[in-house]
Structure 1
Amino acid sequence: MPEPSPTSPRRRSRLLRLGAAVVVLCAVAGYLVVQYLTGGAGAPGCKVVSGKDDGATYTFTPEQAVNAATIAAVGTNRDLPERAVTIALATALQESGLRNLDHGDRDSLGLFQQRPSQGWGTERQIMDPTYAAGIFYEHLVKVHDYTELPLTVAAQRVQRSGYPEAYAKHEPDAALLAAALTGQSAATLTCTGRPGADATAGPDAVRAALVRDFGRGAFQETGAEVGAKGRPAPSPSVSAEADGHAVSVPVPAGDGRRGVRERGWQLAHWAVANASALHIRRVTYAGREWSAGNTDSAWRESGRDTDTDTAASGPAGTDTGTVRIVTAQ
């Protein structure tokens, strides 16, 4: 009986090509399934664009977005100008990349790489982004004429860094973020909004995060006041939705530094920045709507006719408007 002949080189080549084609097809199919299920690219992300039509953009991660929104909220809650928020954001971009690091040079920690041994607070305090931002601003406002100084000079007088010129390169990105997160630029911050593994959901999580970032005086059932302006801040109301719950957040009345519309867009952008962390599906304000899961996650016309979604058109305090946040649960 003759021995079986070995597989010919030509046949082996065909089998290899067939196997490679199967692998490629499986990879493409897997990619398309991910796109279908998530509504976009595999990794969630955020983007801020300039409100000046100059083409400037900055892309960043949901983690960075949450931290940036916290830094901005703490600054505006102290009634500080947009310039202060820009300085703080540029500093955090340089020191930690807007990540809440549990390590650093010597005993440096957190968003601003503050050192417990240098009197910035305990390790636990510094690892709290709200505290870290607050203590940074406390030092910043003690710098004489800080709003008139070059950003790198103002930041260095707070941080005492070994690389004093390093902050300057982050100023353009920090300025874009500050304009959006203080509400000066409308509908300029978007995120994909897909929740991460540690995402929390529901109106209670949104309320807790609002209090965390804007302070315990904001949005309380007791009618507590926002800032030092003596105007009442109603508590957010919750209503059931087919796909979750809608948290209606009354926009605090405007003051000398920020009007109602700016405060409203700050809250709306804050909600988008926290979308992945809080499993937020939709945000509506001033006739515009952002929805999670779209490929571009752009702000679009909301199509709502109710005046609860629009900013006040009359004198400050007569109709503060509402930011509507729809959560997954």
Structure 2
Amino acid sequence: MPRTVSSARRHTGRSRRLRIAAAFAVLAALGGYLTVQYVSGGKGSEQCTVRSADGSDGRGRTYVLTSEQAANAATISAVGTTRGMPERAVTIALATALQESGLRNIEHGDRDSLGLFQQRPSQGWGTEKQILDPVYSAGKFYQHLAEVPGYSRLPLTVAAQRVQRSGFPQAYAKHEPDAALLAAALTGRTPSALTCAPPRTTAGTGEASKVRAALVRAFGKDVLPATDGAAEQTPAAGATAAGSLSVPVRPDRRSAGGARQHGWALAHWAVAQSEALGIDEVAYAGLVWEPESGWRTERKESGTTEVRMSLVH
């Protein structure tokens, strides 16, 4: 028996609604997937791992991130410690950047927000070019954080909100455990806690001059001694054999952990920057890091007076 016109219309309407619902489901799934990829940096791109101090037996906490995220986190930490800020300040800064940008130096955001901390040129944070410089933007964050009375004793959400004036202040809280884990490693308090495995195909040739410039920008001019014609030939000046760099580890009065902790901060910074700067080996305190094997005991034990970096060539 043929359908009536009304039943055919009902059938057509149901079919259309089912197709629309299916299309929305696909779009929602795709949107969720793209969001995950956007925050994580893409499928298969999580190349760095940081572990807690008790993670050597596999039972400690770990956090996985991309090389880009690790490099930005290391810059945020270095700028903070160079300014004499405590580890708690670094934790606050990292949690803020995790929430605002996923530790990615993005060129867009709400209204005119930009960069790691989504700072706004229209609100006096600096020019677009300045804000997109991780060293500058981290410095501005710490400058404002230091002006918050008793920030180190405040809940992280409160301290971060005093700086950011976010519409969602409680969102910072969920990032505190991961930020604390990162801060402990990147400030050097947890030795050999960060490892990265950047793909050799994307790591460019390393240049000692670029590594020196990046070190000075992140840690300040005192990270390397002043160089002159004679000093350039000595390891203490930061120059070793071709394709390598030696960074002296000296007592840092700004670091509560002393010279050894400062050394691990430098070593972890080098690992985090390995893809960006073409570093393929880091040695410090009897351990050596390589992309293929992570941290292992060095055959010829290195001391704690310098961090050695070998460059891709």
Q: TM-score, normalised by structure 2?
A: 0.79
Structure 1 residue matching 2:75: 3-state secondary structure: helix
* Residue number in structure 2 paired with 1:132: 137
Cα drift, residue 155 of structure 1 = 0.3
Matches within 5 A, 1:297-312: 297-305=293-301, 309-311=302-304
The 3 A distance-change label for structure 1 pair 271 and 202 is same
- Counterpart position of 1:277: 276
Judge conservation of contact 1:70–1:213 (CA < 8 Å) in 2. yes
Matches within 5 A, 1:5-154: 43=45, 45-53=47-55, 55-154=60-159
The answer on whether the counterparts of 1:195 and 1:277 sit within 8 Å (CA) in structure 2 is: no
Amino acid at match of 1:301: T
**Alpha-carbon distance change, 198 to 122 in structure 1, aligned in 2, over 3 angstroms:** farther
Amino acid at match of 1:272: V
Q: Give the letter aligned to residue 250 of structure 2.
A: P
The code of the aligned residue for 1:264 comes to G
The alignment-based identity, stated in percent, is 58
Structure 1 unaligned runs (5+)? 1-40, 224-232, 312-320
Structure 1, 163-172 or 41-50: larger mean CA deviation: 41-50
2:240 maps to what in 1? 238
Aligned CA RMSD, in angstroms, stands at: 2.0
In 2, the alpha carbon distance for the partners of 1:91 and 1:42 equals 25
User: Which consecutive unaligned segments of at least 5 residues does structure 2 have?
Assistant: 1-42, 229-234
- Describe how 1:307-326 pairs up with structure 2 within 5 A: 309-311=302-304, 321-326=305-310
Residue 105 of structure 1 deviates from its aligned partner by 0.2
Q: Deviations 1:159-178 (Å, cap 9, x if unpaired)?
A: 00000100000001000100
CA apart distance, 1:210: 0.6
Q: Which of 148, 162, 168 is matched with 2:167 structurally?
A: 162
> C-alpha deviations, 1:248-285, integer Å up to 9, x for none?
11012142623111000001000000111111111110
AA in 2 matched with 1:304: K
| Pair 1:183–1:206, CA change in 2 (3 A) | same
Contact 2:156-2:173 at 8 Å conserved across structures? yes
Q: Is the 8 A contact 1:79 1:257 kept in 2?
A: no
Report the secondary structure of 1:48's partner residue.
Answer: strand
2:40 counterpart residue number: none
1:186 aligns with 2:191: yes
Question: Given residue 246 of structure 1, which amino acid in structure 2 is its aligned partner?
Answer: S
- Correspondence for 1:250: 248
Higher-helix-fraction structure: 2
In 1, Cα distance between equivalents of 2:204 and 2:171: 33
For 1:62 and 1:199, how far apart are their aligned partners in 2?
14
Report if aligned partners of 1:65, 1:274 keep a CA contact under 8 Å in 2: yes
1:67-97 Cα shifts (integer Å, max 9, x gaps): 0000000000011100000000000000000
Output the amino acid matched with 2:295. Answer: W
Q: Contact 2:203/2:277 (CA < 8 Å) preserved in 1? A: no
**2-side partners of 1:101 and 1:327: how far apart?**
28
User: Contact conserved, 2:113 with 2:121, CA < 8 A, in 1?
Assistant: yes
Moved more, 204-213 or 182-191: 204-213
Under a length normalisation based on structure 1, what TM-score does the superposition of the two structures give? 0.75
1:246 positional shift: 1.9
Contact 1:283/1:323 (<8 A) preserved: yes
Aligned residues: 261
Name which of structure 1's ranges 278-287 and 246-255 shifts more when overlaid on structure 2: 246-255
- Distance in 2 between the 1:196 and 1:143 partners? 45
**Matches of 1:133 and 1:195 in 2, distance apart?**
29
Q: CA deviation at 1:199?
A: 3.8
Residue 297 of structure 2 aligns to which amino acid in structure 1?
E
SS at match of 1:100: coil
With over 3 angstroms needed to count, the CA separation of the structure-2 counterparts of 1:146 and 1:196, relative to structure 1, is farther
